[in-house]
Structure 1
Amino acid sequence: LLRKHLPQNYRQATQILLESLPRPADPSLSDGDFGDFIYAPFNEFVAKYGCNKDDLEFSLDALYQMTQRFSAEDAIRYFINAYPDQTLARIHQWKSDSHYHVRRLCSEGLRPRLPWAQKINFPIEAALPVLDELFADSTRFVTRSVANHINDISKSNPELAVQSLGRWKKSKRQNPEEMDFIIRHGLRGLVKQGHPDAMKMLGYAPSHSIKASSFKATGKVHRGSALEFSFKVTAPEDCRILIDYVIYFRNKAGDLNKGKVFKLKKLALKKGDSMELRKRHMLHSQMTTRTIYPGQHLLELQINGVSAGKKKFEVL
């Protein structure tokens, strides 16, 4: 529709769009959202009609203005794919911009696995010099993007993700509370997997000596009711404990899936201390994300990333 009602000349049309923009989002905010969604088509217009050699600099200038009203995180990725060197050079200019939406774009636009966005053919390590600047940002909207970016990296290169966070923490360029947030949020995927180095960075040392005793679970569960289980955990020494549970659901073909991790409890126990824990997990008969099929399923406890016991249960 924009193309239909605007001049056919791309630059003239884009200039009209730029002149119609409201004032930029408040640059003093410590957090924010994507902006005004009504301006999303403006970014897509630039990506569709302005991603060419002759209009490259003009288009990047336009996205710079537009992202201050609504995130250009998807649109910029077309330019990253088509003109990686020129676009990355511009991103390096933007990473210290005064507007937090622009700084966030520098991380979000380069994310390896940005949801609902154009895939980019870009080495994940090439974005690290940008993240090396942005992790120390004073705005949560930016640091959350950095943490999500690290989580993306961790899915293909866990070591690089952990090493980068360790290097940033050691630099002390970010205040401790915000650095802890970046680490927690950035490592959330690896923590679910029980990745040893990720667990250590969060203060949960993997240990096979932390046991779950008296582990009991409902043997048979009807769909629409709850799987109930209980156990006791004892600390062999002073330690922080992170307890998750994993359910391996049976699929339509009768096979168990790779397992879904659920958070249960964080504890700090002294040597010899114990705690009894109980949990009810509803097995809803109608869910949009998963169908519960009858048959044998599997429940597993996970303590600091290490398996601490398994129980089979039957869904009726």
Structure 2
Amino acid sequence: MFNRAFYVNFAQAFGNVDKHFHVEAFIDDVTRGIDRLSLNGRLRNTSIMLHRHLPDDFNKAVAILYAAAPLLPAGYTALVLPDYVALYGKQHFDQSMEALQYFTTLGSAEFAIREFLKTDLVKTLDVMHKWADDKNVHVRRLASEGSRPRLPWSFKLAEIIKQPALTQGILEKLSADEALYVRKSVANHLNDHSKDNASYMLNLVSGWDKTNKHTSWIIKHAIRTLVKRGDREALKIFGFEGEVSVVLENLYTDKISLRLGDTLSFGFGLKSESEQQQKLVVDYAIHYVKASGVRMKKVYKLREVLLLPGQAVQFSKRQPFLDLTTRKHYAGEHLLEILVNGNTLGKVRFVLHI
């Protein structure tokens, strides 16, 4: 994304709004040694080089960013704008908050705002609580996403991990948001809390209105990690009892040995042994071999079932074994595990060859 063609257009946008901006000099500076930089390294380098070519006065520089912003492509590369504010705006808090509120509508300011949370947590959270009431979906989402305790690609917010109630007001304001973009963020924020403060998170969402479809969606996705672990309190929120009375039948795989690139097909049945209907969440897990030789468990959703007394239900699934950017496979003995309401009902071993 950050290549020479991008920087030519980028520099021209600034040249169009600032007659003192030296387009060719900026392009030469920002592309020098760029092949050695990662994606995020190029993002940060762009902010630093912009600072060399914009006025030293922060307010004047930000005014130029505002003017150039509509001429720039939205999306990831637009994160340069909030990144500039994060680097050079800490001594100009009010102006920086206004800038981030605008720039997040072009490319999320979720990483930039964390620099201000690290510097002045209370003051920044006060602004973010107000953002949770904003009419703009991107600004509301920033209130939740930027204050996540464990935002991927960023540092942890240790104080919020210690005091999760610091963001409670933000989450409660957004607990029935109509925008899926916002709801996903709220669910992920709550899921972050579940990793460090599970009891707090469960107590919080248990008091929310589950009859609201938006709130129900958030809660279900928020407790997903705890459900996968078979946490009894998380299961109870949606009526999934920890104890189940079912029998696993005819668990099979179509092969016990496969190679990278193959697909494992498997199936099984569940039969009720209860006189009452049972609400079940059925998952499966693959215990992947890691580089060290140790197996690590990854849980996948299958489906939810309302099992009637004496009823039997069949399941089948295909699981591909392909290297991805998020997963590299290693040779060795793997396990397939069937889970019902967090309980292990059966396992099958198979070998992956690389």
After TM superposition, the score normalised by the length of structure 2 is: 0.76
Task: Indicate the residue corresponding to 2:204 in structure 1.
Answer: 164
Which of 94, 98, 101 is 2:138 aligned to? 101
Do structure 1's residue 44 and structure 2's residue 83 form an aligned pair? yes
Instruction: Give the alignment of 1:126-275 within 5 angstroms.
Output: 126-169=166-209, 176-217=212-253, 220-223=256-259, 224-235=261-272, 236=274, 237-257=276-296, 259-275=297-313
Q: In 2, distance between residues paired with 1:293 and 1:303?
A: 28
Shift of the alpha carbon at 1:35? 5.2
Counterparts in 2 of 1:290 and 1:56: CA distance versus 1, 3 Å: closer
Q: In 2, distance between residues paired with 1:181 and 1:60?
A: 31
Task: Indicate the residue corresponding to 2:51 in structure 1.
Answer: 3
Task: Indicate the residue corresponding to 1:29 in structure 2.
Answer: none
Task: Indicate the residue corresponding to 1:30 in structure 2.
Answer: none
Shift of the alpha carbon at 1:233? 0.4
Note if contact 1:219-1:312 (Cα within 8 Å) is conserved in structure 2.
Answer: no
Note if contact 2:284-2:338 (Cα within 8 Å) is conserved in structure 1.
Answer: yes
Note if contact 2:175-2:214 (Cα within 8 Å) is conserved in structure 1.
Answer: no
Which amino acid letter does the alignment assign opposite residue 161 of structure 1?
Answer: M
Shift of the alpha carbon at 1:218? 5.3
Shift of the alpha carbon at 1:6? 1.2
Which amino acid letter does the alignment assign opposite residue 130 of structure 1?
Answer: I
Q: How many residues align?
A: 298
Counterparts in 2 of 1:252 and 1:117: CA distance versus 1, 3 Å: closer
Which amino acid letter does the alignment assign opposite residue 164 of structure 1?
Answer: L
The one-character-per-residue Cα deviations of 1:118-146 (angstroms, maximum 9, x if unpaired) are 44333232111221212133333222211
Task: Indicate the residue corresponding to 1:26 in structure 2.
Answer: none
Aligned-residue sequence identity (percent) comes to 35
Q: In 1, distance between residues paired with 2:75 and 2:220?
A: 29
Shift of the alpha carbon at 1:189? 1.8
Task: Indicate the residue corresponding to 2:321 in structure 1.
Answer: 283
Which amino acid letter does the alignment assign opposite residue 297 of structure 1?
Answer: H
Shift of the alpha carbon at 1:36? 4.0
Secondary structure at 2:279 match in 1: strand
Which of 105, 115, 118 is 1:68 aligned to? 105
Task: Indicate the residue corresponding to 2:40 in structure 1.
Answer: none
After TM superposition, the score normalised by the length of structure 1 is: 0.85
Secondary structure at 2:158 match in 1: coil
Higher helix residue share: 2
Q: In 2, distance between residues paired with 1:296 and 1:208?
A: 29
Task: Indicate the residue corresponding to 2:27 in structure 1.
Answer: none
Which of 66, 70, 74 is 1:22 aligned to? 70
Counterparts in 2 of 1:251 and 1:96: CA distance versus 1, 3 Å: closer
Q: Which runs of 5+ in 1 are unaligned?
A: 24-33
Q: In 2, distance between residues paired with 1:289 and 1:102?
A: 29
Counterparts in 2 of 1:219 and 1:145: CA distance versus 1, 3 Å: closer
> Which structure is richer in relative contact order (CA contacts within 8 A, separation 6 or more)?
1
Q: In 1, distance between residues paired with 2:82 and 2:243?
A: 50
Q: Which runs of 5+ in 2 are unaligned?
A: 1-48
